[in-house]
Amino acid sequence: MAFQNQTMKANTSFVLILFFAVQYTASTNVFHFVIEETSFDRLCQSKKILTVNGQFPGPTIYALAGETLSLDVENRGKDNVTMFWRVGRHVKSDQVEWLVEAGAAVRKNITISEDDEGTLWWHAMNIWQRATVHGAFIVHPEPDDHVDIPIILGEWWKKDVKEVFVDYIDSGSDVKSNAYTINGQPGDFYPCSKNGTFRIVVDTGKKYLLRIVNAAIHKKLYLGIASHNLTVIAMDGSPIIEPLSTPFVELTRQHSIDCIFEANQQPNYYYYMVASTNISEAYDTNKITTAIIEYQGSYKPSLPPLLPLLPNLSPNYDKSSSRDYLYVILTFVILGLFFCTTFIMWPQSVLQEKEAKQSKEVVNGVEHAMEEAVNLQEQNNTELSNDELYRMGMIPTTKANKS
């Protein structure tokens, strides 16, 4: 309740109010999740995706450290869904998964540990369900006055996501998405997308806390805001002792970063927030996903800036900031090692699902192989060809059977 009041008070933007309003359940710590198919219009097409409460990305869960939440999940979809809650940074004890069978409901309590703080996330376990069934899990140490803005980075496929992955099994075709998204929106430079571009309306001099989660299936993503530095204060639910300032942050898959930006620039423009897979392409409007930081009051819609103000992500931009950047990477390496234990948990659950159904077995195996492949891909920072996947035994039985 405290958060609800605070959010309502602090929000200066109608858009923000809209974005948050649906995410709080009235006055209790019970969260109702309904998994169901919902129709969305993106990239000039309409299609149904699996969602929680009809939202893409799904609702944000807010909790206080030490609080017990009651999570109530109803599955109105056609498939079983295993929900995965990354509720704390203690990798093993704080990751909970539940099978919610099609047509059934599960209600369970989760207790957040006392020393948790920052942004985590929840998602469906299965890779194509996870593409759209995910959301932020934000733990506050105590009630505070920050204006939280969840920024969920995701992907959009024009095709049915499940089909994409089935096709991948059948033909080895690409699973590449048609657009990356910021809070479900590809942004101004994609067709039929301008109306929906996510906007943050800010007041000059105020600070805003971005709760960024990379929920994209495949890629690490870079995020920055034109002319505004980001001060990173936490990663993966762990506060950073010495916050660092950087023009952009790098988020590997499944990771989260909390950072603050101050609305301290000339208010007579709007500024783009850019998400990109490649720093060198952050100026290429054919390739970037955008949201808008709009200064309250002074911006006149009839006079849009001629050119977007993109974050200066060019590697030559500022050598001093690349030190910070290196530090971010190093921290990630350390966090990466820490989270390696996570991956050990995955095969087990995949195995459980295998037992559930013969036909799903193949799919799950490939799914797991894909996870592995993507992990390897990230480690090596290279694309893997199907031949390489074969050679590594990543897609052995299925592909062999089909071809």
Chain residues binding ligand NAG by CB under 6 A are 68, 70, 79-80, 101-102, 107-109, 192, 195, 227-229, 245, 247, 278, 280-281, 320-321, 356-357
Angle at 382 between CA 378 and CA 387, to 5 degrees: 110
> Is the distance from CB of 209 to CB of 260 less than 8 angstroms?
yes
Q: How many CB atoms lie within 10 A of CB 262?
A: 15
Min dist CB 199 to ligand NAG, Å, is: 14
Nearer to ligand NAG, 1 or 102 (CB): 102
Min dist CB 280 to ligand NAG, Å, is: 4
> Is the distance from CB of 135 to CB of 121 less than 8 angstroms?
yes
Nearer to ligand NAG, 160 or 361 (CB): 361
Nearer to ligand NAG, 80 or 238 (CB): 80
Min dist CB 196 to ligand NAG, Å, is: 8
Helix (H, G, I), strand (E, B) or coil at 312: coil
Nearer to ligand NAG, 6 or 375 (CB): 375
Nearer to ligand NAG, 91 or 106 (CB): 106
Min dist CB 6 to ligand NAG, Å, is: 23
Min dist CB 287 to ligand NAG, Å, is: 8
Min dist CB 179 to ligand NAG, Å, is: 15
Burial of 303 (0-12, 13-18, 19+ CB in 10 A): exposed
**273: β partners:** 225, 291
Nearer to ligand NAG, 160 or 281 (CB): 281
Min dist CB 108 to ligand NAG, Å, is: 5
Pick from 76, 56, 71: nearest CA to 25: 71
Q: Report the alpha-carbon distance of residue 137 to residue 114 in Å, rounded.
A: 15
Cα distances (angstroms) measured from residue 45 to each of 192, 211, 250, 345: 9, 29, 30, 37
Query: Edge-to-edge strands of the sheet including 207-214?
Result: 179-182, 148-156, 207-214, 256-262, 230-235, 238-246
Min dist CB 252 to ligand NAG, Å, is: 14
> Is the distance from CB of 240 to CB of 328 less than 8 angstroms?
no
Q: Report the alpha-carbon distance of residue 291 to residue 208 in Å, rounded.
A: 15
Cα distances (angstroms) measured from residue 136 to each of 19, 43, 133, 336, 403: 13, 24, 11, 19, 40
Residues 6+ apart with CB under 8 A from 181: 153, 154, 155, 156, 289
Nearer to ligand NAG, 9 or 48 (CB): 48
Nearer to ligand NAG, 244 or 370 (CB): 244
Burial of 179 (0-12, 13-18, 19+ CB in 10 A): buried
Min dist CB 221 to ligand NAG, Å, is: 12
Min dist CB 383 to ligand NAG, Å, is: 8
Nearer to ligand NAG, 109 or 298 (CB): 109
> Is the distance from CB of 125 to CB of 85 less than 8 angstroms?
no
> Is the distance from CB of 160 to CB of 39 less than 8 angstroms?
no
Pick from 211, 246, 206: nearest CA to 230: 246
Nearer to ligand NAG, 340 or 356 (CB): 356
